[in-house]
Amino acid sequence: MSNRDEELFADESLFAAADKDRSMAPQAEPWPVLVVDDDEQVHAMTRLLLNDFEFEGRRFAIVSAFSAVEARAILAERSDLPVVVLDVVMETHDAGLRLVHHIRRDLGNRHIRIILRTGQPGQAPEREIIVTYDINDYKSKAELTAQKLFTSVISAVRGWRDLVTIETLNQSLERRVAERTAELERQTALADEQRRFIENLVELMPSPVWYKDAAGRYALCNRAFRELFSDNAQQTERAIGKARRMETGQVEQTTETDAFSFEASVVGPGGDTRELLVVKQPLTASDGSDAGLIGIAADITERRRMERELHRLATTDPLSGVHNRRHILDLLEQLLTGQEVGNSRQETGSACLIMLDIDHFKRINDGLGHAAGDDAIRKTVDVIRGHLRVSDQLGRIGGEEFAILLPETSRGAGIAIAERLRGGLAALAIPLSDGRHFQLTASFGLTEIRPLEDTVETVLGRADQALYRAKAGGRNRVELN
């Protein structure tokens, strides 16, 4: 493990010693987490990272495999594993991906959530491979601090639990429908009563359920279905039309008889958008012919909201509300590789990076107090945002230093923007609680970005040099490198 790994894992606040008087009451069965890595220290550190965490009253138990071969043996014996944390490079450079292929294709296990991680970022799988192998998350080992590992594992366990629950419910419903249908054929005298039983059973289910017959007609839909797709129970046809459009979402289906699932967004009766996980199961008659299809939808709106909030917290600086250092550097990397940045795709190749530093910031903190310093940071962000386009990206590098990405911006335009920012900050009067005001200035370093040629380090190095010259030249100025 590298020094960088050790630094990231050394968060003492997360590894406080367990209370010696902890209750000896029996604990619920822990969540098993399969860790596949040829580095013993990775297993020990993962166990330590998850040691003090719980989810739904259950702790985590690490199941260790030190090679892909050993992992295959474990997976052959155990079907209760919700998540596997898997190294890419082990006995071979692609041992991890081959194990994923074995899980998804050979074992047919679509439920287990796979978190792929590697200590060699250069070995990161291409996006096509991630989609093809149904990999649920990818992290470099340097990223997996205790909190991030916990977040990834919790998200994976939730996904596994939801899929298993939906499949169990779907299988139960299919079995009941098949059993009652067979009974109808054997006992025609009880046909009406048994049909009413099925309809009542489905009607009481809290999740939207529907049945489409072999001719494509919606023969059954329950109350939850009607309430979600229509504000009036009489508007079933309108609801059915929405359900048909929902079926056009991306579908993963290996055979005509396999259950398949996809996610879709629909507008609820109150006008709010709901996000659904839809699972469908084709039905076959006793002679093998098509008997229709059963569908069930689970509302995952809150889960998706929580995932988005976790992403916001992971990418946002809490004081200023702009991108944090890691995220703004990720956006710079995307711009350098020609990827879409925000809602803008680099077209002409011209782009600029501005680094700015508030002048004499220590004097503000020491002379006026840290509250004034925090206010200066926030007011600086407000001024900068007022001069930027929607496509421009602002991040706080650290302390009083900021970075601004300007896609589709020539050197001359970048200088003009930097000068406007400099003038705007110099004219800013920041009020104090006692009625006084204070002013500040900032120094700016600007460099052009050469996508597909530069690296993050070279761009930051040039911008830092320009910023240093601005500081050395008297501050409150713009320098170009």
How does DSSP assign 108-155, residue by residue?
---SSEEEEEES-GGGPPPHHHHHHTT--EEEEGGG--HHHHHHHHHH
- Those residues of the chain that have pLDDT short of 70 are 1-27, 119-133, 141-144, 184-191, 230-257, 340-348
Please give the C-alpha separations between residue 227 and each of 157, 236, 268, in angstroms, as whole numbers. Answer: 30, 10, 8
Greatest CA separation found in the chain?
Answer: 98
User: Where do the domains of the chain lie?
Assistant: 3-144, 161-304, 316-480
In the numeric block, the tokens 């989810």 are attached to 55
CATH class of segment(s) 3-144: alpha beta
What local confidence, expressed as pLDDT, does residue 11 receive? 41
- For residue 34, what pLDDT is reported? 92
Kindly report the backbone phi and psi dihedral angles of residue 179, in degrees, each rounded to the nearest multiple of 5, phi listed first. Answer: -65, -45
Fold agreement between 161-304 and 316-480: no
Distance CA 46, CA 203 (A): 45
Report the pLDDT value the prediction gives residue 470, as an integer from 0 to 100: 95
Q: What is the CA radius of gyration of the chain?
A: 29
pLDDT tens for residues 312-325? 888 899 999 999 99
161-304, CATH topology level: Beta-Lactamase (3.30.450)
CA distance 419 to 357: 14
Nearest of 449, 340, 349 to residue 403 by alpha carbon: 449
Contact 463, 405 (CB under 8 A): no
pLDDT score, position 256: 56
Q: Kindly state the DSSP code that residue 234 receives in the 8-state scheme.
A: T
- The CATH code that applies to domain 316-480 is 3.30.70.270
Closest listed residue to residue 304, CA positions, set 279, 278, 268, 275: 275
Question: What pLDDT does residue 6 have?
Answer: 46
CA pair distance 4, 306, nearest whole angstrom:
29
Quote the pLDDT of residue 7. 42
pLDDT in tens, 460-481: 999 999 999 999 999 999 999 8
Integer CA distances (angstroms), 395 to 320, 451, 460, in order: 9, 19, 13
Task: Assign residue 43 a region (left: φ > 0; alpha: ψ between -120 and 50; beta: otherwise).
Answer: alpha
Residues 6 or more apart from 152 whose CB is under 8 A from it?
115, 137, 139, 144
